[in-house]
Amino acid sequence: MKDLRVLTKYLAGLGYGSRKDVENAVRRGRIGGIEAGSKNLAPPFDGVTFDGEPLDPSPGMVILMNKPAGYTCSRADGGQLIYELLPPRYLARSPALSTVGRLDAATTGLLIFTDDGQLLHKLISPKSETPKVYDATLARPLEGHEGEAFASGTLVLRGEDKPLKPAKLDVTGERTARVTLTEGRYHQVRRMFAAVGNHVEALHRAQFGPLTLDGLAEGEWRILDAGEVAGLS
């Protein structure tokens, strides 16, 4: 049955298993909503279920997570991978699911995943200038000159020769501040405070573009709806 072959390939792409695994699932009755003559046997296969649950989103999925400390975004960084907090089948999706940029193991907060390569490229491109908001806790009290340095457009990080774009600093306490960036260089916030003589003890990303973590507890995640995705692109 040609339509069933299309469904099998589609489900394999969503990470439900190999095509053979999916064919076995069909025979065992684990896939519902595919009665003969059904009009839904074409992507996105509305009404089709796997083990009684609606299918995962089609390619183009975007996930918002509140990243806890101790997880890394790349095997190269060692430690527990942030993907371990997602359903295992998500790692088998094709196209692959990737993080939009990285947060180091010690940094918490807003992290985005997507399998949309075009959106991923847009969001990480320096040309996008997507605002990102970080809350920093510092080792020493702020001295008052940091905001001017960050906003100057002349601050140069150690090991680089290109000045940073202007960034906004809002003082929130004696040793706490909120920083808004429109670029995303390696460990940028930590290196910015190092450049003005301080050290970041804790860092949390609170916002990425229009997205915030409202209602999302640490370690939790959710799939963005079409309107939210449109707001990013």
Q: So what's the pLDDT on residue 37?
A: 54
Between CA 135 and CA 210, with CA 165 as vertex, the angle to 5 degrees is 50
Residue 39: predicted pLDDT: 62
Catalytic residues: 104
pLDDT tens for the chain, 233 residues long, are 557 788 899 999 999 999 999 999 989 999 988 765 566 667 778 889 999 999 999 999 999 999 999 999 987 777 899 999 999 999 999 999 999 999 999 999 999 999 999 999 999 998 999 999 999 999 999 999 999 999 999 999 999 999 999 999 999 999 999 999 999 999 999 999 999 999 999 999 999 999 999 999 999 999 999 999 999 97
Which structure tokens are listed for 11? 């489900």
Instruction: Give the pLDDT score at 221.
Output: 98
